[in-house]
Amino acid sequence: MEDAERASADARGARRVRPVRGARRAGGGFRALSALGAAGLLLAGCASMPDRGEIRRVEASQGVDSQVRVFGVPPADKASAADIVDGFLEAMTSDDPQLATARKYLTEDAAKDWKPGSAVTVLSAGLDRVPVQGEKDPDGPRWKVTGKKLATVDERSTYQPETGGKRYEEFLQLVQVNKQWRIATPPSSLVLSESDFQRIYKPVNKYYFAGGRLVADPVYVRQRSDPDSRADPTTQTVQSLLAGPSKWLGPVVSTAFPTGTQLREGTKSLSYDGQNTLRVPLNKEGDNVGQPQCQKMATQLLYTVRDLTASRLDRVELLRSDGKSTHCWVTGSAAAVIASRPPSPEHQYYVDKDFKLVRMVLNVNAEEQQQDRPEPAPGPLATAPFKVGSAAVTYDEKRAAVVSDDGHGLYVVTLTTAGQMPPPALTSKTGKLTAPSWDAQGDLWVADLDPQTVGLYRIPGGTGTPQKVDVAGLDGGRITALKASPDGVRLALLVEREGGRKNLYIGRIERPEGKGDASPLSVRELRPAAPQMAEVTAMSWAPRGRLLVVGRESGGVDQARYMLADGSMVAASLPGATGLSAIAATEDEAKPVVAFSGEDGIGIVWLPPGAQWRTVAAGGRAPVYPG
């Protein structure tokens, strides 16, 4: 996926005119399209205005290519009220860095006060606009603009999906200024269709700390300069990092930056030198910190900016408020130690046709990737008196948790020494335990579907007394699958509701401070993680805080797609990913995606980076990576 994003970034710099699908918007508004980097032409009136290539008519909701720049056109002399409304709505979707053209449709006071860059309303399609009938306003006509809300982006650039088909509605009041119609009450935020939003904004992770580990906090920044601050995408992302985490993630993460830390005044662009070093000048609030804290600050910056750019970033230097002297610096290798990233897995695990847990080593060399023959998981499982149904392995691969095939028992065993099978750590009378999952703290998670004991359970350290965990917002749904995130602060839950349909949610794991590992936890603020999918059948955490989700859209077929943890879809489906009912990925992007396909007895398959699906073990099932 990262390769695809980098290829897209390279293409954006190629200055080629891309094909554009489109049609005229109801009401007559047009926009101008151009290839990147082309010089401008000037056309009068409400018409398309390319600065290179032919003119195309485009409707906002028609998936405009992100490599095409779109510019609004200023209002024509004595334009009708309808043309002013249409022209303004089109100009809002333009790539004009300061939205100067859109402001020309507003009154002088409205243009001065309008700050659309602070928030965005994303609609599933374009806006509908109709004049308000039956009202006589002495100031002039009013127009109602409506649409179906897909999501909102708040002042911290955080994407929040909307559920339940909520409607967007605002009123535009028009007045006459020097015999020209102008809008006196513009929308409180930028309003964009989904396709325009994807063209103008790009997803990026900013990073914060939780328990010494880095946590990805996804945000959206403009592909080009921000209309308010005029900052480039890298600077926008750093500003968002310094402003603090999203409201949803804020209760469980922290930042190394002191309160009030900002970029040095006047900084609009951050660039790299020939040694792939990024220098970041901070204000005085960032001066008076010790080296360990400063290096944690630099680590947050390195991971954040490296996630944004296709260029290789090897080093980040923090400059003092004088903009010249270096405060501290960190390299990529040093940052990896500070970030406490999970180790790259040595093995892949799955349940073979004989219901035994097996593992295999993935050999990676410069030319090809090969898997060794599977071997039984070491330890007492080889002689277990039951069939294994599902399993989870700790990140250090020293312990495994397995659920019996009948679902009655959860067992925790060591993988380093032989011995007797221990008694079950948790039992379910009706045999409804889900596959387990280990988190980065070493705790074990599992859900029980027994009507008498239904709920989510956590076993501290994998050895403590099982604790039932309160899940706020479950609203009667049943947890049928779960996966703890590698950072240890989020839990992905597959929830089945009335009618049998399964949907994916993410909850925030809240741990009481200073009360030890055995203290009760809670999972708060469940939010939809795949709202575009009508049903989800399998999921896994994937590199850079993302999710790999198997499911289908309404009226569609099953597919596997990468998604951000905020619920926004950011990549095309994996090639040939049909018939999958289980999937596993790891933080190490060099490792293949592993899946289970029940079609024609295929069994375990894997997809190496840049290759095709390959059968690994016929008859195998329940694939997992450590975690």
* DSSP assignment of 202-216: EEEEEEEEETTEEEE
CA distances from 404 to 170, 252, 394, 413, 604 (A): 56, 34, 18, 13, 20
Predicted local distance difference test score (pLDDT) of residue 183: 97
pLDDT at 573 over 90: no
Local confidence band at 387 (pLDDT 50, 70, 90 cut-offs): very high
pLDDT at 19 over 60: no
Predicted local distance difference test score (pLDDT) of residue 136: 62
pLDDT at 501 over 60: yes
Which helix (H) or strand (E) is 81 found in, with range?
A: helix 81-92
CA distances from 541 to 99, 158, 270, 484, 505 (A): 38, 20, 31, 8, 13
Predicted local distance difference test score (pLDDT) of residue 135: 58
Which helix (H) or strand (E) is 300 found in, with range?
A: helix 291-308
Q: Give the β-pairing of 213-222 and 347-351.
A: unpaired
Q: Give the β-pairing of 533-542 and 546-553.
A: antiparallel
User: Domain segments of the chain: what residues?
Assistant: 2-200, 206-339, 347-624
The C-alpha torsion from 579 through 584 and 590 to 591, rounded to 10°, is -90
**Strand intervals (E) in 307-408:** 315-319, 326-331, 347-351, 357-364, 369-371, 375-376, 388-393, 399-404
Could you tell me how far CA 298 lies from the centroid of its own chain? 23
DSSP-derived 3-state class of residue 205: strand
DSSP-derived 3-state class of residue 354: coil
Which helix (H) or strand (E) is 198 found in, with range?
A: helix 194-200
**Strand intervals (E) in 265-364:** 277-281, 315-319, 326-331, 347-351, 357-364
Q: Is 175 exposed, middle or buried (0-12, 13-18, 19+ CB in 10 A)?
A: middle
Predicted local distance difference test score (pLDDT) of residue 272: 77
Backbone φ, ψ for residue 398 (5° rounding):
-100, -20
Question: Rg for the chain (alpha carbons), in Å?
Answer: 27
Which helix (H) or strand (E) is 196 found in, with range?
A: helix 194-200
Q: Is 304 exposed, middle or buried (0-12, 13-18, 19+ CB in 10 A)?
A: buried
Looking at residues 469-486, what average pLDDT do you find?
93
Tens of pLDDT, residue by residue over 404-435, are 999 999 999 999 998 899 999 999 988 899 99
Predicted local distance difference test score (pLDDT) of residue 514: 55
| CATH no. for 347-624 | 2.120.10.30
Looking at residues 387-400, what average pLDDT do you find?
97
Tens of pLDDT, residue by residue over 306-363, are 877 766 889 999 999 998 788 899 999 999 999 988 888 999 999 999 999 999 987 6
Looking at residues 149-175, what average pLDDT do you find?
89
Q: How far apart are CA 608 and CA 610, in angstroms?
A: 6
Count other C-beta atoms under 10 Å from residue 179's C-beta: 7
Q: How far apart are CA 152 and CA 210, in angstroms?
A: 26
Looking at residues 280-305, what average pLDDT do you find?
95
User: Tell me, what amino acid is at 571?
Assistant: A
> Which pair of structure tokens corresponds to residue 63?
């998936």
Q: Which residues contact 333 (CB under 8 A, 6 or more apart)?
A: none
Q: How far apart are CA 62 and CA 48, in angstroms?
A: 16
Residue among 85, 75, 73, 74 at smallest CA distance from 141? 85
Q: Return the percentage of the chain with pLDDT > 90, whole number.
A: 57
pLDDT at 283 over 70: yes
- DSSP code, position 118: G
Local confidence band at 575 (pLDDT 50, 70, 90 cut-offs): confident
Tens of pLDDT, residue by residue over 208-218, are 999 889 999 99
Q: How far apart are CA 333 and CA 330, in angstroms?
A: 8
